[in-house]
């Protein structure tokens, strides 16, 4: 069994900590919120993020990062995408360079347009593994069957992490297309947010099916432009993640989109959801990136106008529907 430390005691980090704890690993969680730490240690719960948990006794939470990292063999960065750099900086000088760092966030860094693996490797030289796929924390925590992917520049270590997390309910595949895995997981949050907007406007299944399909076209365009393989976008971290995030009420991106479709501002929607909405920062980042790369992403364009230019969602949908006719495949 292994000693695994999590930086961040949010919903997905906690659900994976439970999974590893139930496998017999020694698991620590560092969180800056003492209320979360106390709830885990005293009550074996984390009610701030997921109600009804039963956290095993071999999962211990700390408010001190040095204590959490003591004798660690793997580190999981369970932080929002925009503070992954901060997480890597916390690790610098505290762990040896051979310890694998597992990133479970999905996004790119706003401002630099770097993938999260690139961000981490800017700061530390550790091997980095991405764990991604259609995996709502609320289901993983209660052993609902789930499949995900590990990817890395070092696939031997990706296979180690595959073994670390694999259970009969949590099936882990490997995929050597690191860029594709990261881009698919990031852009699907934009499409899920747009899907929620359509739900909030009162549109139906036909609309959502169209949005998801054309959204996949955007994922493929930007993903292949950045060097990803098209097969990856048809897999778990592309189509799989897109389906679950666009259709589930566990999805904070969809929830926020519904609220925006009903007339809330993005800030009001974020406050109501109560957690980070990755699709908002992803939309801003990928809008800038697709402009640089000259990639056509009309759904991303439209959502950007709603989020950052105060356009009415209904007007933007009308504009998308009035675009010039074209072939579906091009």
Instruction: Flag whether 252 is marked binding.
Output: yes
Instruction: Flag whether 265 is marked binding.
Output: no
CB atoms within 10 A of CB 291: 11
Q: What are the percentages of helix, strand and coil residues in the chain, rounded to 5?
A: 55, 15, 35
Name the residue with tokens 């036909």. Answer: 206
Instruction: Flag whether 184 is marked binding.
Output: no
Half-sphere exposure of residue 191, counting CA atoms within 13 Å on the CB side? 31
Task: Please work out, in degrees rounded to the nearest 5, the angle formed at the alpha carbon of residue 87 by the alpha carbons of 12 and 48.
Answer: 35
DSSP letters, 65-113, are HHHHHTT-SEEEE-S-GGGHHHHHHHHTTTS-TTS-EEE----B-TTT-
Instruction: Flag whether 241 is marked binding.
Output: yes
Instruction: Flag whether 323 is marked binding.
Output: no
Q: Measuring CA to CA, which residue among 223, 75, 236 is closest to residue 147?
A: 236
Rg (C-alpha) for the chain, rounded Å, is 19
Q: What is the 8-class DSSP label of residue 131?
A: E
Catalytic residue set: 188
Helices (H), 166-204: 178-200
Instruction: Flag whether 133 is marked binding.
Output: yes
Q: Give the whole-angstrom CA distance, residue 180 versus residue 176.
A: 9
Instruction: Flag whether 2 is marked binding.
Output: no
Instruction: Flag whether 327 is marked binding.
Output: no
End-to-end CA distance of the chain: 50
Question: What pairs with residue 30 in β-bridges?
Answer: 7, 62
Instruction: Flag whether 37 is marked binding.
Output: no
Instruction: Flag whether 276 is marked binding.
Output: yes
The residues near 191 (Cβ < 8 Å, ≥ 6 apart) are 211, 212, 215, 216, 218, 219, 242, 245, 246, 299
Instruction: Flag whether 251 is marked binding.
Output: yes
Instruction: Flag whether 43 is marked binding.
Output: no
CB atoms within 10 A of CB 236: 25
Question: What pairs with residue 174 in β-bridges?
Answer: 150
Instruction: Flag whether 195 is marked binding.
Output: no
The residues near 329 (Cβ < 8 Å, ≥ 6 apart) are none
Instruction: Flag whether 221 is marked binding.
Output: no
Instruction: Flag whether 51 is marked binding.
Output: no
Annotated binding site for NADPH: 11-12, 32, 49, 106, 137, 252, 276, 278
Annotated binding site for sn-glycerol 3-phosphate: 106, 133, 135, 188, 241, 251-253
Annotated binding site: 11-12, 32, 49, 106, 133, 135, 137, 188, 241, 251-253, 276, 278
């Amino acid at each position: 069994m292994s000693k695994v430390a999590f930086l961040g005691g949010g919903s997905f980090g906690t659900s994976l900590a439970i999974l590893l704890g139930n496998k017999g690993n020694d698991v620590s969680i560092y969180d800056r919120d003492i209320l979360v730490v106390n709830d885990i240690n005293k009550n074996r719960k984390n009610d701030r993020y997921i109600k009804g948990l039963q956290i095993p006794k071999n999962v211990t939470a700390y408010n001190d990062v040095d204590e959490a990292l003591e004798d660690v063999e793997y580190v999981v960065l369970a932080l929002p995408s925009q503070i992954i750099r901060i997480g890597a900086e916390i690790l610098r000088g505290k762990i040896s360079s051979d310890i694998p760092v597992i990133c479970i966030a999905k996004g790119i860094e706003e401002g630099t347009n770097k993938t999260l693996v690139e961000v981490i490797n800017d700061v530390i030289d550790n091997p980095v593994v991405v764990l991604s796929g259609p995996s709502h924390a609320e289901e993983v925590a209660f052993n609902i069957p789930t499949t995900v992917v590990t990817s890395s520049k070092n696939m031997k270590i990706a296979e180690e992490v595959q073994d670390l997390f694999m259970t009969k309910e949590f099936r882990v595949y490997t995929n050597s297309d690191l860029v594709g895995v990261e881009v698919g997981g990031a852009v699907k949050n934009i499409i899920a947010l747009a899907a929620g907007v359509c739900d909030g406007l009162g549109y139906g299944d036909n609309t959502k099916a169209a949005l998801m399909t054309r959204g996949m076209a955007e994922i493929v365009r930007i993903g292949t432009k950045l060097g990803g393989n098209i097969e990856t976008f048809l897999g778990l971290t592309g189509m799989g993640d897109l389906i679950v995030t666009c259709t589930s009420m566990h999805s904070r991106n969809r929830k926020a989109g519904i609220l925006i479709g009903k007339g809330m501002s993005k800030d009001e929607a974020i406050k109501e959801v109560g957690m980070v909405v990755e699709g908002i920062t992803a939309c801003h980042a990928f809008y800038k990136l697709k402009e640089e790369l000259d990639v056509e992403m009309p759904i991303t364009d439209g959502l950007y106008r709603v989020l950052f230019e105060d356009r009415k969602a209904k007007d933007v949908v009308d504009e998308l529907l009035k675009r010039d006719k074209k072939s579906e495949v091009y």
